[in-house]
Amino acid sequence: MTYDPGYNFAYLDESTKRMIRRAILKGVAIPGHQVPFGSREMPLPYGWGTGGIQVTASILGPDDTLKVIDQGADDTTNAVSIRAFFRRVAGVATTERTAEATVIQTRHRIPEHPLTEQQIIVYQVPMPEPLFRLEPRIAETKRMHALADYGLMHVRLYEDIARHGHIATSYNYPVMVNGRYLMAPSPIPAFDNPKMDQMPALQLFGAGREKRIYAVPPYTGVRSLDFDDHPFRPIRAPHACALCGSRESYLDEVITDDSGGKMFVCSDTSYCTERQTAREAAE
Partner 1 sequence: METRYPGFADPVLDAQASFRAVLEAMSRPGRVQAVVAPPELPPGLSPAAAAMLLTLVDAATPLHLTAGAEAEAWVRFHCGCPLVEVQDAVFVLDPAARLEALDAGTEEEPENGATLILEVAGLEEGRGWRLRGPGIRGEHRLQVRGAPEGFLAAWARNRARFPRGVDVILCAGVQIAALPRTVQIEEG
272 given a catalytic annotation: yes
| 40 makes contact with partner 1 (CB under 8 A) | no
32 given a catalytic annotation: yes
- DSSP per-residue string spanning 24-70: HHHHHHSTTPPEE--PPP-SS-TTSSHHHHHHHHHH--TT-EEEEEE
State the catalytic residue, choosing from 32, 49, 52, 72: 32
- Among residues 24, 42, 73, 121, the one that binds partner 1 under rule CB under 8 A: 24
Interacting positions 164-203 with partner 1 (CB under 8 A): 178, 180-181, 198, 200, 202
- DSSP per-residue string spanning 116-142: -TT-EEEEE-S---TTTTT---HHHHH
Smallest distance from partner 1 to CB 183, Å: 13
| 21 makes contact with partner 1 (CB under 8 A) | yes
- Among residues 7, 8, 87, 169, the one that binds partner 1 under rule CB under 8 A: 8
Smallest distance from partner 1 to CB 164, Å: 34
Closer by beta carbon to partner 1, 78 or else 203 = 203
| Beta carbons of 186 and 205 less than 8 angstroms apart | yes
What span, in angstroms and rounded, lies between the C-alpha atoms of 34 and 206?
A: 10
Interacting positions 88-147 with partner 1 (CB under 8 A): 117, 142-143, 145-147
221 given a catalytic annotation: no
- Among residues 43, 45, 47, 61, the one that binds partner 1 under rule CB under 8 A: 61
68-82 as b/e, with b when 16 or more CB fall inside 10 Å?
Answer: bbbbbbbeeebbeeb
Closer by beta carbon to partner 1, 139 or else 282 = 139
72 given a catalytic annotation: no
CA atoms within 13 A on the CB side of 278: 9
Which contiguous run of DSSP H or E holds residue 181? strand 181-183
Smallest distance from partner 1 to CB 129, Å: 14
1-34 as b/e, with b when 16 or more CB fall inside 10 Å?
Answer: eebeeeebbbbbeeebbebbeebbeebbebbbbb
Phi/psi for 107 (5° steps) reads -115, 105
DSSP one-letter code for 262: E
| 9 makes contact with partner 1 (CB under 8 A) | yes
Smallest distance from partner 1 to CB 199, Å: 11
What residues are labeled active site? 32, 241, 244, 266, 272
Where on the chain is the footprint of partner 1 (CB under 8 A)?
8-10, 14-15, 17-19, 21-31, 33, 35-36, 58-62, 117, 142-143, 145-147, 178, 180-181, 198, 200, 202, 216-221
